[in-house]
Structure 1
Amino acid sequence: MSVDLEKFSKESKSDFPSNKKLKEKLKKTKPKNLDETFHKVHEEVFSEIDCLDCANCCKTTSPIFIQTDIDRLAKNFRMKSSQFIDEYLHRDEDGDYVLNSAPCPFLGADNKCLVYEDRPKACREYPHTDRKNMLGILDLSLKNTLVCPAVLKIFYEIGKDYRK
């Protein structure tokens, strides 16, 4: 079952103001169990949602590539790291290496990653909703509500307890 990305885009933009308020409330109140809450809801949501039905992250955004990612992927393609950079990457406004284009050139037609075993660290950790110190990455998580249907649902579920 594929995700209706057009519907998701409208819904996520519509929900963004309330999700922003939720983020601000969480930052202000600093709930002690925030990591546990995010992790619990993350597990519940990802038991229902399959990333292969969507791959919107791979279709619309670029991970940050750190040097170890570049070296690993260059080795996979039997090329020098500098060649990999020249072919696939550029530096963004923050000076980070990111993909030249979207969708990701390593995304297959079936939404599977063609370099899955060697994928960048940022891809391995995405959407970051099961990490430690969720309070510290709430801004990133809020942005990800516009990219990932699972993160939008996680915010919705967490908001049930905090939007009172």
Structure 2
Amino acid sequence: MKFPQFKRRLASEHLELTAFLKKLDDIVPEEMPELVAEEDKKAWAETDCLSCANCCKTMTPTFTKEDIIRISAHLQMTPKEFKAKWLYKEPDAGDWVNVTQPCQFLQADNKCSIYEVRPVDCAEFPHHHKKPFDNYNDTFIQNLAYCPATYNLVRRLKNRVEREYEW
């Protein structure tokens, strides 16, 4: 799914997908892990991250101390130099995040120039693998607006749960 098409579809479905995830906080089908695994596989078959890269264009990962050490070494910089050049510390949360958006490591072909050493937050995005799935509904509600894979997964789960379960 191309990003403009995703944004149009999301605009018409965002409220109902959000409501589904909120309801999923209270009512969780017993087979939820299996449903998520099956529908996630299908969602990724419909999603091409390299044609989108919206996460890299509009969001910033949180850089852990280990991320900063690993990435700065890869770039042949000290962690202090790396932070001074690319990051700032959020005043409220105290997290290290990118100064700029899109991400400074995003290339014109939507590939990451530090992919092999990217932040753990990037490697785990959009967090579909986290368990139990329903503990991360707030994360998925946020990611609906940014990630076609999350949109595809939540839409598929909603359709399947409403079809197969008393909801």
Task: Compute the TM-score of the two structures, normalised by the length of structure 2.
Answer: 0.90
Structure 1: any 5+ residue segments left out of the alignment? none
- For 1:133-144, what aligned pairs fall within 5 Å after superposition? 133-144=132-143
Aligned length: 162
Task: Tell me which residue corresponds to 1:150.
Answer: 149
Question: Paired residue for 1:57, among 55, 58, 61?
Answer: 55
Deviation digits for residues 119-141 of structure 1, max 9, x if unmatched?
A: 01011111111222111111001
Is 27-36 or 143-152 further displaced after alignment?
27-36
- For 1:81-120, what aligned pairs fall within 5 Å after superposition? 81-92=79-90, 93-120=92-119
Cα pair 2:50 2:110 within 8 Å, conserved: yes
Cα pair 1:52 1:111 within 8 Å, conserved: yes
**How far does residue 143 in structure 1 lie from its aligned partner after superposition?**
0.8
Cα pair 2:2 2:51 within 8 Å, conserved: no
Q: Which amino acid aligns with 1:20?
A: T
Task: Tell me which residue corresponds to 1:126.
Answer: 125
Aligned sequence identity (%): 31
Instruction: Determine the C-alpha separation between the residues in 1 that align with 2:98 and 2:31.
Output: 36
Q: Which amino acid aligns with 1:38?
A: V
Deviation digits for residues 68-116 of structure 1, max 9, x if unmatched?
A: 1000000011111111111111122322111111101001100011001
Is 116-125 or 5-14 further displaced after alignment?
5-14
Task: Tell me which residue corresponds to 1:29.
Answer: 27
The alignment partner of 2:38 has SS state of: helix
RMSD: 1.5
Q: Which amino acid aligns with 1:68?
A: E
Cα pair 1:39 1:131 within 8 Å, conserved: no
Cα pair 1:12 1:146 within 8 Å, conserved: yes
Deviation digits for residues 41-79 of structure 1, max 9, x if unmatched?
A: 111111232211111100110111111100000001111
Cα pair 1:53 1:111 within 8 Å, conserved: yes
